[in-house]
Structure 1
Amino acid sequence: MKTSPDRQRPPLRPAAEQPVLTLRFTASPRGARLARRLASHQVDAWGWGYGTPVHDAVELVVAELAANAVTHGLVPGRDAELRLSREGEGRVRVEVSDTRGERRPRTGPVGGETDGETDGEADGGRGLLLVAALSVDWGVCERAGGAPGKTVWAVIAPTMGAGPDLAAVGGGRPPGAEGSASAT
């Protein structure tokens, strides 16, 4: 099939030259996995190679936020969205949006909750604690442009070194994070 000259698409810029990656993904485990893999590729293209602390932190944060969006933010027929951007001082901002604005992360202790008590053996409820531990700041806000839903965001900095001691992470809010939470 031949394309007319006026219908040709402009050439895509190499990933390293794109300051922002925006991706809509299906609200499914497969979509969340795609978001994680493309974020991993983009961070590598920006110069933080596979296996570096920043790369691994961004990959894990995207995995946790995308998994939460498809698990807790699912609205049938609506996609989730990943936005990854480079900020000043070499920081990477991760934003994952879904259309369930009424289901916001809640602050609370580690693990699942049973009758108001923390269940240390629960299978879930620790993802946002990992996000808090791996980021310099994170929170939740309304989606941009008046779109329905919420955006959970995190900022990862290259100065984080080898990363925090995750075993020492408590259930509190990180400094400056509005609406931080331990479970969605």
Structure 2
Amino acid sequence: MNLENSDRYPSAQSTLPTRKFCVRLSSTRRGARLARLLTVEQLRSWEVPFETAELVVAELASNAALHGSAPGRDFRLTLTLTTADTLRIEVTDTRPGHVPTVRTGAPPDTERGRGLLLIDALADRWGITPGPGACKTVWAELVTGACG
């Protein structure tokens, strides 16, 4: 009998806690800035490198505030640090029909339209999940190497 794969005898890694932080913020520039600042402080408290995550959150929160909000609705930031040394960043907004796309070939002097190219370059994985309800979640995962 292989004890590592047995449900009766979970591996030590599977019993380690997952850390999670979740907050609702106003869909404004101020809310997006606060998302970035809260991310930095939370990751510092978890003793996890925060520089890349700070950039990813800044972009996703800015997108949620500028493009993904319905009037009077907030967005949600969720940070999850797993036992597999992965930080999952999720930003959930209230415009499920407004799905962001990666815009390649944007003119170099354009101020907008390259945010998801940044996410694509910085994240190990990213994507978009519809729901729950009238929402969508744009997520990115970063391998942190911090839980070793």
Which category describes the TM-score, using the shorter chain as reference length?
0.7 to 0.9
How much does 1:158 deviate? 2.1
* Cα gap change, 1:60 to 1:91, in 2 (>3 Å): same
TM-score of the superposition, structure 2-length normalised?
A: 0.81
Amino acid in the other structure paired with 2:111: D
After superposition, give the CA deviation of every residue in 1:37-72 in whole Å (9 maximum; x if it has no partner).
111111111112xxxxx4101111000000000010
Q: Please tell me whether the aligned partners of residues 110 and 129 of structure 1 are also in contact (alpha carbons under 8 angstroms).
A: no
Q: Which one of the candidate residues 73, 85, 91 is aligned to 2:68?
A: 73
Report whether the alignment pairs 1:97 with 2:92.
Answer: yes
% of aligned pairs identical? 40
1:124-163 mapped onto 2 (5 Å cutoff): 124-143=112-131, 146-158=132-144
Cross-structure match for 1:55: 50
1:1-184 mapped onto 2 (5 Å cutoff): 19-48=19-48, 54-111=49-106, 119-143=107-131, 146-158=132-144
TM-score of the superposition, structure 1-length normalised?
A: 0.66
Distance 1:132 1:87 in 2: 21
After superposition, give the CA deviation of every residue in 1:104-155 in whole Å (9 maximum; x if it has no partner).
01243142xxxxxxx2321111111111111100010113xx3312100000
How much does 1:25 deviate? 0.2
SS, match of residue 98 in structure 2: coil
After superposition, give the CA deviation of every residue in 1:3-22 in whole Å (9 maximum; x if it has no partner).
xxxxxxxxxxxxxx981110
How much does 1:88 deviate? 3.0
- Unpaired segments of 5 or more residues in structure 1? 1-16, 49-53, 112-118, 160-184
Distance 2:119 2:102 in 1: 13
After superposition, give the CA deviation of every residue in 1:85-108 in whole Å (9 maximum; x if it has no partner).
002321100000100011001243
Distance 1:24 1:110 in 2: 34
Which of structure 1's runs of 4+ aligned residues deviate more than 6 A?
none
- Over the residues paired in the alignment, what is the CA RMSD in angstroms? 1.6
- Unpaired segments of 5 or more residues in structure 2? 1-16
Q: Please tell me whether the aligned partners of residues 128 and 138 of structure 2 are also in contact (alpha carbons under 8 angstroms).
A: yes
Amino acid in the other structure paired with 2:28: S
Distance 2:98 2:59 in 1: 16
Q: Please tell me whether the aligned partners of residues 110 and 126 of structure 1 are also in contact (alpha carbons under 8 angstroms).
A: no
